[in-house]
Structure 1
Amino acid sequence: MLDLAWRPRAHLDRESIAIHLGLERKAPQAALDAMRRIDDAIERVRTFPDSGGRVRLDALRRTEYRTVLANPYTVYYRFDEKTLTVYRILHQCQNIDTYALVDLPR
């Protein structure tokens, strides 16, 4: 199993999903369920990183970004021989584009 690393925006995405569902929509169980689906999807690709689909956008095709579904969210990640790095977690209705995977300054 690969080590797991999170980019800052991925942490913000995950936190925003939990806040939106749990507090704004007043659905704490939905927030917990979404976090579980996201965590389960990430654990699957930590074990089988090639199982995620390749990003299909022309601008990102030459990169090694992959996706795994955690309905209704998509987790964007990359991996090398040691580490799987989560870059973004977006609702499937959100459009991903080239700047959406740029890192925030640390």
Structure 2
Amino acid sequence: MTANPWDELADLDSRSKEQILDLLRRLDDVPRPARRHMRVYADEYAGHLYKRIPAHTFQCCLCESTAQNWDHCHVHNYVRGPLCDPCNVMEPRWHRDGRFPWYFAKCPGCAP
């Protein structure tokens, strides 16, 4: 048994039903890691002026799928974070509706 149960998912064929159920119960207690080809965004560019930086190496800040775009404040031009295409399309509506206030506060010009 490894320290991180997510690492055990690769070896399910040799496990009994009881071992798999135990693993699934332990997975509930451990945060899902980033996909191997993506980095979890840690606000590296938050508060910086927007520029073209490849976003596809990061997870979407809102849904954890592969990001394709850098979301930025169009008023102040500061980066908020990487978003996937669906979240990037919904972002204006969510901002207007007051959803994800922690995310929109990443722009220093918009922060309360």
Report the TM-score when normalising by structure 2.
0.23
Report the TM-score when normalising by structure 1.
0.24
Higher RCO, 1 vs 2 (CA within 8 Å, ≥6 residues apart): 1
Give the structure with higher Rg (CA). Answer: 2
